[in-house]
Amino acid sequence: MNIAIFKAINGLVHECTLLDKIMILFSKYVPLVFIIGLAVLYLCGVHRKDKRLRCIAISTFVITVINLFISYMIGIFYYEPRPFVNYKVNLLLPHAVDASFPSDHAIGTMSIALGITNHYRIYGRILILISFLVGVSRIYVGHHFPMDVLGSYFIVLISNYVYMYVLQDKINEGYLKIEEFLIKYVTLTK
């Protein structure tokens, strides 16, 4: 079923040039927009002197890094070849022959989306939808099987839940203490 769904999605390549370009855009550039958006959220918090915005950005960044580390470790210990390694696929973008599972793009975008959803439901849900489109685009361009993407989302859901209830408050408190120390230190050295 994994391969059949992959072939159905990837089989659409070259049917519509516009769709190909849209999927390349989602696969290649939208994850960067998520990262830039997170940086902008933090900078808005700095500009507005809003601790809550800064904490949301830092907390979302931390869970994203944790999830990408989990992804990296899984890739080391469990190697699942990319679709183009063992199958004839429509490869729209070149890619290294590394582990297919889990999808870093799906992990990164969904981590940011859920991090924002924890605080801003409407914006977060929009980001979740966009993250799903990133996941589909990764299948479309020939880089991942559907289960690579779905498994990535599952990892993020579990770790986000644990993070929210176990680490998030501690991370925010730690960040605010570091920030307070740095502000005092910078003020004293002027």
**Domain containing residue 116: CATH number:** 1.20.144
Return the structure tokens found at 151.
């498994």
pTM for this model (two decimals): 0.92
Domain that holds residue 183: 2-88+97-188
Q: What confidence score (pLDDT) does residue 190 get?
A: 55
- Residue 189 is predicted with a pLDDT of 60
Rounded distance between C-alpha atoms, residue 10 and residue 27, angstroms: 13
CA distance 100 to 85: 10
Per-residue pLDDT in tens (0 to 9) along the chain, 190 residues = 999 999 999 999 999 999 999 999 999 999 999 999 999 999 999 999 999 999 999 999 999 999 999 999 999 999 999 999 999 999 999 999 899 999 999 999 999 999 999 899 999 999 999 999 999 999 999 999 999 999 999 999 999 999 999 999 999 999 999 999 988 887 666 5
What are the residues whose beta carbons fall under 8 Å from the beta carbon of 42, sequence distance 6 or more?
Answer: 53, 54, 57, 58, 61
Total domains in the fold of the chain = 1
